[in-house]
Structure formats: structure tokens, C-alpha cells
Structure 1
Amino acid sequence: MDSEIIDAVTGWDSAPAESGYRGLRSLANDDFTGAVVAGMTWGFMLNGRLLGVFDGQIEDFEDESFESYRAPDPSLPLLYAMQETGGDVRAQYYTEETPLEDADGTLSAGGFTGYVELSENVLSGDYYVVYHGGKSMSAAYVGNSKRLITGDDAFERASDEIGIYKVYDVDIELVEIPEGDDEDETVPSAGAPVTDDAEDESSGDTPASAAAESDTASESPTEPGDTTPSPDTETKSDIETPAPDEPAPSSESPSAADTSTTDTTQAATTDTESHSTASDPKPAKKKGSDDGPKTGSASTSAGAHASSAATTDSSSAKNGVSSGTEASESAAEPSGSGDDVFSAEAQWRNARSIPSLDPGKSKYETAPKRTPPQSKERSRKAKSRAAKSKQSKKRPKKRASSKSAPKSAPKSTPKQSAADAGAVKELKAKVSELESERDQLASERDSLKDERDEYRSRAEELDARVEELEAEVERFQSKLDEVGVHDTDHSMSPDEALRGTNLFVRYARKGEATLEKAHAGQAKREDVVENLRLEHHTTFDTDGLGVEGRPYEEFLEDTPEYGFATWVVTELLYEIGETGNRSSLAGVFDAIPEIDRIELYGTVSVPIGEDETEPRNFDIIFRDQMGDPLFVANMNDSRDPATKPMVAQLAKDSKAIAEANETLGSAFVVTASFFEPEALEVTAEKTGGGLLSRSKRKSYVKLSRKNGYHLCLVEGRSGDFHLNVPDI
């Protein structure tokens, strides 16, 4: 997530929210517009629609508490979602040659989706116009304080500016909020009215009783048991109004019905009507007269069909005609229409982008809520029961017959008895043979057990001997260490060994946990540590090499330089992220995944003239793949505290590096002791720190409006490192 976006969003007003998917759906039902943050995972919402999830997945919100920030203007969540999604630069214009008003007219007429950024060569601020389906909203950040301006005022200011603006084409895809395990499966989804379906199932109503109730309702439509929905009480759908040229669903009833299937059809009719009532979305919010066309046409059409069905049933009953089939077809007719309130749900789920924006509105048109799967399942089961009932009526009953009586068994003959005696004798012989085989196998089993116990005893004796020999080896090795004797052929001084050493950040498996995935919140710390390899490369042969009487590899891994490098690539990223300092220490946090090589006791060249350079020496230099410096550090490995001159010299050298290389994210002073008060004071002076500091970045040396780096002080004792300045 971009640090400037994080700065802006965390400055918005907080909005109360529940945890997990329930909290997200609650915000969606409240038409929430703003941002939601769960740990390191971000999401942007516009009028209850989740525009995207970044630096993580939607599953990161499951059963987790999260922060929600309400946007001061609806243009900002859409703009930030597009910026984080990324898009293609379709065009670039100079305002003096192509005014912003001309481009705006072309983009609006073409139904463009994306945004325009006017910031290059503009001194007063950054200006944005965000589009969706040709509809636009404007926002601007003006002045050094980046004061937010929106609406027509922002567009008029942008039109008066001179500079270069770019047109970004971005495709936004909505994210569906899953249902959590903590939801009650018997409760309808948010926004859907509760119906009597749950009561019907719990009371054990059968298709036959449902059919009987349907018959009663057909004969007396005004009775209390009548379930036909009224146009006055029907729930309105908040989908878009169908096009004028689309045919309206017919309200005519069939002229004839099959009287043989009346009961079955009426049962299906009753279930269909219940399903229609349960599937109605929540009522649409009232809009003002300037909100564009109303969205109640689809629900009005559905109400007309329901009213027509009730009229048809009543008329058929009075005329003595069976109304079961007619009621079924009338009630099912709205769900068969291509533009009704029920098919709108499927259209919304298949859509790849959000509905068009209207500049006159501050919100999107709300989409219909998803039909509860329980209602669909109940409708399917009721229809299945009706079909089975129909099949059972057609199936003829079986009658008992005297022909089916079992015949008496024939009496055995002497020949058959002799055969049975022979079979018994053969079976007894087989049993005797199997018993003999069983006894033989048992004997072999006992013999193997004895052999196993013997080998086990021998193995225990050998294990004890191995432990004894290993202990003896350790005693000899300890004596050799005491007298400083190591298995080395030649030696080298520590300074020479470190100057010729480079460390490389590599992975056992590139497709698994990496620093890039950790930066995006997609990898756990232990997985990154297990997968990461800090390999070393030297300018000399290390076979048989001893440094201070120790093998080279053992010496290297025990140095403060190696320990600090390991801490940076395995611990510092998570310490910054878990303490909520991704934005305030963005220069450090964003540069860690870019580390490719770590140079010990190296130099960085600084230009001092047109063709001249001057070297700056550092104990540790972290570089990217192109060799550009990302971090520089100096070590104080003595027991004396780090002094003011140490910090001042690093600040001077690192500033020269940062002015020549925009890649520098931070400079570190690392001490094995502690920092003198004067050293802390000079750090505050260089970074503009103190009680009156208004900078959102911590311990930050600002070089220009968009360039600078962090000056950090680190204490490292007993192999553990801690960030002292800034305090996180």
C-alpha cells in the first residue's frame, strides 16, 4: 500500500464496525464509503461495495477485528482503489495544447473508466478526475499541507493549472464478502425480509397440507390464510430500471388446466409464492428529485404479476374452474422474466465492474441483496415432494396372489444324505490342516519376537557406546578450544576477512515465502526465515582459513556486522509492520524487499564536480540488484558509548549519498553499548525532531519535497538488536 495513501486514510474519521465478515456485511448494508484495515490488509468500499482488497486477501478479515475509516468524499475510495489496482497509461497531454476540459468531454462521452492525474510540472498540488462509465468525480491536494478539495471546485482549479496530465485506464472488479461460520444458517441474508418458510419447515408441514391450504386460499382469497402478496406491501428492488424497449411480463393466466394434477400444482404454487416473498430484496432507499431515474420499476412489475395471479385464482374459483395450475403459473411468472427482481441478483454476481457513477449523486445505485440459499433449497424440496406425490398416485397398487405363496421344500433322499456326509468329512480335514498351519505360524512368531528382543538389546548397548564416544569427543574439542587450536591451514586478520566478504539474500524456493510476499502481508515470519538464505562470497579461498584462531565461517557468523545484516532481512520488516509504522518508516519498510547484496567495509562514490567523485566509507552497505545503495551503516563494537561525532559523521556522509542517489532509504548507527545524550540531540537536530515537529515520518531527514531518508540509531547487545531512534 502506498505510504501517502496510508497517511491520508488514517487521517479520516473512524467508523464503528463489528469484527469479521459480519462487520463487513454490516458496513455494506449501511452503504459505507471509506476504507477497512485488518492488520496489513486494506480494502476500499464505496456505498457498501467492496472495490478491492490489497496487501492481502478477503480471508484476512475472517473472525478478525478491523479498523474502518469513513471517507470525506466518495471520490477518494474509488481513486485509491484504482491506484492500488494499477492501470495502463493510455495518453499524456500538455494542458496548453490539450485543455483538461476537452479531455474530460471526450472521456465522458466515451464511457471511460479510470482516472486522470495532473501533477507533473505543477507546483500548486496534485489534481485527479476519476471516471466510471463516463461519470466523473474530482479531487485535489493543494499546497504544502496537501489540503483536500473535491467536487466542482477541484475540477475548476485543475482546469486553471498548467502542466502535464496522464490518463490511466483501470478495470475495477468488486470483491464478494463471504458468509462467516458464526452466521446462523436459519437466518436470511442481510436485507431480505423474514418469511414464514422457517416456521413451515419446523412445524413439519407436508406437500399435502400445503396443497390443501392452497385450495382454501383459491376459494376464499380474502381469508386470513391468504398468502398472495399485495402490490401495496411488496418489497421494492433496488436494481436499475429496465430499458423502455424491454417487453413487460404477461399477466394473462392460462385458459385451461389439467384437472388431474390440480393438487400437485397447487402445492408447488404455494411453495413458489413463499419463495418469492422470501427472495424480495430489502426496500430501496428514497432519493431526492435530482437523483436520476427511480429504481422501483422492476419491483412494480413483480407486484403487478402477483396481483394478477391473485385475481386469476379468485376468478377461476368463482367460475367453477380448477385454479391450481393457473395459480402455479401466475405465481411463477415473474421469476421467468429476463428483467425481473430475481434475475438481477445473477446479473450483479456476474458483473465485472461497479454500476455507472452519476455526477449529481454522492452514492452509487444500490444493488439487490443475494437471495437466501435456504429459500431456494426449500423451493426445490417442495417441488420434489410434489413430483413424488404425483408419481405415487399414478403407480398401481400390488395385490396379494395365491400364486406367490412359497412352495414346500422337497424331502431329502438317501443319495443327497451321502453327499452331505462327504462334504462334512472334507471340511473337517480342511479345519485340521488350518489348525496345523496356525500352530506353525505361532511358533515362527515367537521365534521372531525373541530375535527382535535380542537385536533391540544390542541396539541399546550400541547407542550407549555412541553417547559415550560423543561425550569424549566434546571433551577433547573443549580442551583444544581452551588452548586456541583449530583445524586451519592459514590465517587472516578480521579486517581483511570482512573487506573481502559480500553477503547475498537468496531463497531455498523462490515460489514460497519471500521478503516481497512478507511486505505484501502474504508470508509469515517463520516461513520467511526458514526459506531465506544469507550466502557469503569472498575474494579469497576459505578452505582451511582461520580468523583469530577460528574457522572463517564460524568467525563471520559471530561478527556484529553479520548479526545486524541478518536482523535487517529477517526481523526489521515485521517489527515495523506489526507496530503500525509502515507509513512513518516507509523509506525503510519499502526498501527491505529490494535488498540483493550486502557489502562489508565498502565505499559509495559521490560526485563533487562534472567528472570527479569522492568515496564515502561505511561498515555495511545494503544494495539492490543494480548496485544502488539502499541502506548504509557504521558499527561501534566497543564497550564505550556511541558519541556525537560518530552520529554527525554518518549524517554528513549519508546526506551526500542521498542527494546523489534517491534509492537511499535509511542510514544506521549501530552500537554494542549505548548512545550518549549528545548523540541523541544531534540526531533530533538533523531530522527536525522534537515536540514541535509536524512530520508524519519518524526520524526523517528531508532533502526536498519528495526526497529524503531516515536516520536511525540501533543498539545491539548479546546478538539482539533494538531500534532506539525512532522509538516504535
Structure 2
Amino acid sequence: MQTRTVERVETWESRPFSGGAAALASLSDADFSGAVVADDVWLFFVNGRPVGVAGGTVDDVAASAGTAYEAPDLSLPLLFAMQEADGETRAQYYTNDTPLTETDATLEDAGFTGYVELSEDVLSGDYYVAYYGGRSLPVAFVGNAPEVVTGADAFERAADEVGVYEVVSVDLAFPDLPEVEADEAGAAAGAAVDVASDGDAGADTEALTGTADTTDSDADDAPADADTDDPLDATAALGGNPTADGATDDRATERPSVGASARDAGGPSADTPADAVREPESVGKSTAATGRRPTDSEAPRPSADPPAEAAVEEEPTARAMPEEEEDTVESADAEAAEREATRVPALAPEEDDIEPAAADATDSDADGPTDGEASAGASAASHGESEGRVETLRRELATREKRIERLEARLADAEEAVAARERDLEDVRAERDDLRGTVERLEERIATLEADLEAAKPGPGDLSPAEALAGTNLFVRYESKADPTLDDLGEAEQSEIDANLTLEHHTTFDASGATVDGEPYESFLESTAAYRFVSWVVRGLPREVLESGHSRGLADLYESIPEIDRAELDGTVELEGETGEATRHDFDVVLRDRMGDPLVVAALNTSRDPVTGAEMEALTDAASAVGELADSLGGALYVTASFFEPGALEVAGDATASGGLLRRSEKESYVKVSRKRGYHLCLVEDRNGSFHVTVPEL
């Protein structure tokens, strides 16, 4: 038993079931519609007729006590019994291609037995239409906490939905109830008397109000087989209008549209006779008298075969058929009706017209005039019409087969395209995963760099090396003017001069507490190449010139040293020419006198790369430009921590050639910028913390 079915049944009104064949007989006599559960075995009733059992047998239900659940609508137990009967799915359709209303009309016309389920790709709920002998009973379970909707409202909602629905053919079992034992006969008789009394009272009421079509005497005179072999009475299930002879004329008239009253499965209409939904009174009386339900030999039982589509009146002129022929015809009709009820008809009405056409031809032959010529003409016309319709259907079938082939080809192409897209999707997903990994690594790298940058940000007093040097000036000062100074070069000991000489610094910023890249400013300054160069010029260079005997050859440079008052680091020389145009030239170090005139300029190369010819030419050009305007310039020095390329030496040689290298002169490595002006060009190497003059060679 499906769990969902159990949950839905348990919401119905319930009452205890005492067990036993008599209790089942009482439910049957009371036209009970619902389910009886005993010992996990479920027995479904529709209008008092068992239509299916799940989880066991009817005897299992009779052997135990349990619960009887009365259905709010007879479509529910019929549907659940069909679902438990393991029907066969005969077709599947999409509502946009084949509307549910079209399928419903075809199934009703074919006398179909089974159900239609619309639940796939439908979000609002589950929709069903149960069929018995072509009669439809719609039911819907709408919403998350399903609301049960039946009748026309259920069908209208189903017809408005879009999704895939299945057509399931079902062969109901119609199990028989067990015989009532002798000790249970009294209880069964009492229940039957109550039912019969209720029936008589209902009939009397209908007779008084004028709503009944028959009287009690008519019911007594009715034959035992007047009851339809159908647990779903036509008028009770569909609310159809009865004809004069008590049969519904739904099948003979045009099928009502969606939402018509013919779909209202809520109960019998006002025009429905009371005895149309219960067994004949004679059966009830027989039960009451004997204390047990009539057997198959005593009274007719409802048949599992679907009822005939419409009542056929007997022709007044029809002659009686022999009993054997009549039995044969009835048997053939029953087999044809069963085949028609269990098969799934084609949804195109034309496809179901072949057999009816043949049947029409047969009926035409049987019902036609006895005149041979008229009968032959009618038969030939009917046969010709059938042949034409068959040919038309064949052409339509061929057209549909071609369309199916085209659709199958399109489906194959679509499936191939989907497979290709899926492969592309896998590649994209793999690439996405790789990119995610790359992004994660880059984000980690960015976070690390941001942290390093934050740590490297200068504090309130932290400076960059360039800022620190540009804002620093060094001053040549002495402990005592009475002690030897640079003016005493050649007369006093160099060591005494060095001991008295000091280098003081002045900054454009607050040097107290200042740092350069996190290093205290004082220690940073003394470790720079510029500071060490200035200290060497005022201490070491005079000693080397004197000791090597080049004081006369480098006289302009040597004589400029005592005049040095301050050293400008990362300095600029600004001079105004004869035309009044100011020129600017930048040097790493500018040594000036008290008046600020340039005495010595220098370029420093602190990298491991050698000095190139272009770099040397830049220094000589700038120094020559200064020398043309400043008489005070005595020397230009290029200092490198690496070495000088041949090109640099060649540029230096060319610059000093006019100053006396190629002609007799006392001035060494001298660059002559005018007839009376010039400067000494010296090349210095900074190795292992000490400076050595390489040009000129000392």
C-alpha cells in the first residue's frame, strides 16, 4: 500500500470495523464507498461493491477488526483501487501537444477503464481522472498540504495545467465478499432490514415529492437483473439525466464541455431516482429474509465488465432469435466491450473510425430493408465509404510517420548537441576550478604584499634615502682655529689637521628621532657614499696629492680644498649666463666655498654596473658648462664602486686632451673650457671602504 495513499485515506471520516463477513455485508448493503483496513489489509468499496484489495485478501479483512474510512467522494476509492491494481501505462502525452480535454473525450467514447495521471513537471499538485467503462471521475490533490478537489472543478484545474500525463489501463479484480456464517446471520439480517427500511422510506418520500420516476410496485415488478452490472451507477457518478427507461443518455448526446455539470461527481442529481444508486428492493428483502447475502445463483451480482454505452430499445418488428444464437451474440458483445474498455484508444478520432465504420456497415446490412436490391446497394455504398475512409487514414498515417522520422532526427541532433554542450560544460568547469585556485593564490599574495607595504610605510619621522640626502648639507668645521686647519696643508701634519677637522650636518627636516627606512638618520648618513666621499676629499685626498708629488699638476683642485666650507648632497648648481639665461646642473655632491660658489662637483656610481661612456660624457658636459660661468670650479670627480668601461676612459681622455695631455703643460688631467678657464677631471674608485684616484695616476 502506497504511503501517500494511506495518509490520504486516514483523513477521511472513520468508524470502527468489528470484523467478520456480516460486517462487510452490512457495508455493502449500505452502499458504502471508502476503504476498510484490518491487519494492514485494505479493501476498497464503491457504492457497496468491493473494487480492489491490497496487502492481502478479503478473507484477511473479514478475519480481523479494524477501521472503516468513508470517502468524501466515490472517485477516491476507485482511483486508489486502480493505483494498487498495478495497471499498464499505455501512453504518455504532453499537454501542449495533446490537450487533456481531447484525450478525455477519446477515452470516454472508447469506454476506457483505468486512469489518467497528470503530475510530472506540474508544481501545483497531482491531477487524476479515473475512468470506468468510459465514465470519468476527476480528482485533484492541490498544494503542499493537499486540498482534495473533485468533479468539474478538478477537471478544469487539470485542463489548465501544463505537463506530462500518463494513460494507465487497469483491470479491476472485483473480489467477492465471503459468505455470512450461521452465527452471523442475525446481525446481517438486522443490518439488511435497516437498509431495506431506509430504501422504502426514500422511495415513499420521492413518490410524495414527485421526484421519483418509479413506484414501489414498479420496483417489486422489476426483474432481478434490472440492476446494472456496474459499481459506479451512471447517474450517481456523473450526474447524467436519466432517460425514460431509466438509462442515462450521456453517451447518446454531445459530450459536455469542461466544467459542465456532467463532470460534477459530488453525488446524484435532483432528477436521479433513489434506487439508481442501490440494489433493487427485492434483493434487500431477500437478504433480510434469509439473513445472508444472495449467492450468484439466487440474485445477480455486479459484473466486472463495464456497462454498455447506451440502452438499445428492442425493435418492434425484430424477430426473436434462438436462445443459442442470442447467447453467442451476447458473449461476442461482452468480449468486444471488454476489449474496448481496456485498450487505450488513439487520440486522433479518425484512427478509431475504422472499426466503427465496419460495424456501421454490418449494422446497416442487418437493419436494412429485406429487399435484396436495396440491401445490396446500401452495403456497396457503406463498403465504398469505408474504403475511402481507410485510404484517407492510411495517407494520414504515412504523413505522421514521416513527421515522426523528422522529429526523431531532430531529437537525435538535439541529444548530440546536448552531449557536446555537456562536454564543453565540463571543460569550463575544470577551467573555472583552475581559475579559482589561481585567484586564491593571488589573493594570498596580495594580502602578503599589503601587509609588507603596511609595515614598510614610513612613520612620522621616517624618510626615504633620496629625501634624507636631498635635505642634508655638510659643513667643514674645526675644534679650534688655533690648531692646524686645511689652510696649513703642507706645513702641518695631516694627522693633526684631521684630528682638528669635523663634519657637521644641517638638515631641512628635524633630524632628532628621524629614521631612514627604519634606520636612525645619523648612522644612515655616515654610511652613505656621499658622506664618506666628502670626508675623503677634506682628509685623504690632500695627503695623496702631497705624498705623490702632484700638488702642482693638480694645483686648481688642490688649492680648492682649503676653501671648502660646505658640501651639498644631491645638489644643484644654478648659474646665469651672459645673456641672462639661467642654467641648472645636478650633481651628487657639490663642494662650495663660503660664498656658495662651486669648487668641486662629483658624480657617484654606487651600483655594481660599470660607468659607461655616456655617463662620463654627461659629467664632463655638465662640469664644462659650470666651468664656463664659474671661475671657482677647480675639479670634477667621477666616483664608482665598480669600474670604468673603456668608453668612459676614452671620453675622459678626449675631454682632457685639450688641457695638456697632448702638449707640454704642468696641469694634469685638465679640461680647458676657455682660454683662461678649466678644471681637473679625476676618476676615483671606491673599493673596500676607501677611495683611490686612477686618473690621473698618482
The TM tier, using the shorter chain, reads 0.3 to 0.5
TM superposition score normalised by structure 1: 0.32
TM superposition score normalised by structure 2: 0.34
